[in-house]
Each structure stands twice: as C-alpha cells, then as structure tokens.
Amino acid sequence: MMRWRGVCARGLGLITALAVLAAASAAQARPKGGGVATYLSFGGARADIGSLNERLKANGYRTFSRDYLGLGGGGFVLIGRVLVGGEGQSLFAQHATTGPRRAELDGGYGFFNVGYNVLARSSIILYPVVGIGGGGMTLEITEDGSVPFNDILADPKREARLTTSSLAFQVAFGGQYHVPVLGARGERGTAGTMLGLQGGYVFFTSQHWKAKGLHVTGSPDAGLSGPYVRVTVGLGGWSAQR
C-alpha cells in the first residue's frame, strides 16, 4: 500500500503547485469568473476483480471484496467556467489469511481533469469532468508467522508480489459548496472552506499482471475499472460568474 500512497502523494504535490501557480491567472480572469481550490477526499469504489477472485478461490485462497474505501485529494483552477486540475486516490488494502498464507490487495490511481462549471452561482459550483491518468493494483502473498532461518535458505521463494498498471480514463460529475460560517462570501464571490461530492466511473485499458518486471502468462484480468463516489473537504474560492 505504501507504493500507491507515495504515487498519490507526489501527484498531490504537483496538483498543489499547479493550483498555486495558476491562482494569479484565475484572479486575472475575475470579470469572467475564476478561482482555485484544493481538497481531501474520502469515499468508496468498486473494483473489477471477479476473475481474480475465481482464480484465488480455485487455489484455496479466500477472496477479496469488490468494494473498497479510499483516501486521496486533489485540486483545480477555474478560468471562466473551465475547470482544470487533478486528483489522486489510494485504496485501503484488503487482507485475507488462509492457513499459513496471507494475501494483501491494494491499489490507487490519479487523473488530470478538465471540466466545465454549469452553475453560475457564488456559493455553489457543479461540473461534469473527464480525466486521463493511470494507476494499478498490487497483490502480495506471504507466509504468516515465523519461519526458521535455514528454511528460508533452503526455499527463498516464500513471497510473491504481483503488480498491474495501466493507462486510465474517468468520467464524473461533482460539486462544491462554500460553507458560509467558515469563510467569506459576497456579491463578487466566495472564499474559505468547501464541502463537495463527486461520483463517476473509471476505465482501465489493460489488466495484465507482472512479477519482478516480467509478464505473468495466464493471469486473470483484474483492475480498478468501476464506479466510485466520494466526499471532499477543502479550501478555496471563486469569483461570481456572469
């Protein structure tokens, strides 16, 4: 799971830098409306792991739930009604123990987004968005408990780590609401704390597994393609659009 947290953390750093650098441009667009925002997100997603579960079950392993919870964040800049930004999401790992064997499955993804604000109000923005990015999953299988040192020397292949990564796309619809008691609001715009909601669907183009950089033949399809919904909490502001 640390791998995907690191990927998302680097992505969020880039997103924040983009937001800061673009804030001046958004402010210059004030007569037409503009703004900037960053946020944290929490929500659920459904993964496409049916084939993987069938293979695990056939080999004596417990299966994983298709439903995940995840934590992430993002940011965007509004220039007029056009929204440009990015976001990342790291899904919490699932664990399954079968006898001495322990399996762990986690993943994450990130997107560069472009959207359009369809509601010209100072306190609320609503926007459809499309995104392009990438992500993947990691499956680790280990032996639980203690192992004698000599047994490791005799059979070092006691752990398997398989990964899948892919180009990905998303379509989504979201909204942000400025909380009036935690910021400033006026006729020309709003700034402060925001609450939001976003739902969408993620498409992964490839679902092939690798182990130590080598392609794993005969592997089942598995990926993070599926719907998601999440709530957001953040800081930002935008000028009223006319």
Q: What is the mean pLDDT of residues 100-114?
A: 91
Residue 186 pLDDT > 70: no
Choose among 200, 201, 205, 207: nearest CA to 223. 207
Residue 154 pLDDT > 90: no
Would you state the pLDDT for residue 183?
52
Would you state the pLDDT for residue 7?
47
The proportion of the chain whose per-residue pLDDT surpasses 90, expressed as a percent, equals 41
Distance CA(12)–CA(234), nearest Å, equals 13
- In the chain the domains, ranked by start, together with CATH numbers, are 2-239 (2.40.160.20)
Which residues face 110 on adjacent strands? Answer: 88, 134
Q: Confirm if 85 and 113 have CB atoms less than 8 A apart.
A: yes
Would you state the pLDDT for residue 209?
87
Q: Confirm if 91 and 136 have CB atoms less than 8 A apart.
A: no
Q: Confirm if 113 and 78 have CB atoms less than 8 A apart.
A: no
Distance CA(190)–CA(41), nearest Å, equals 21
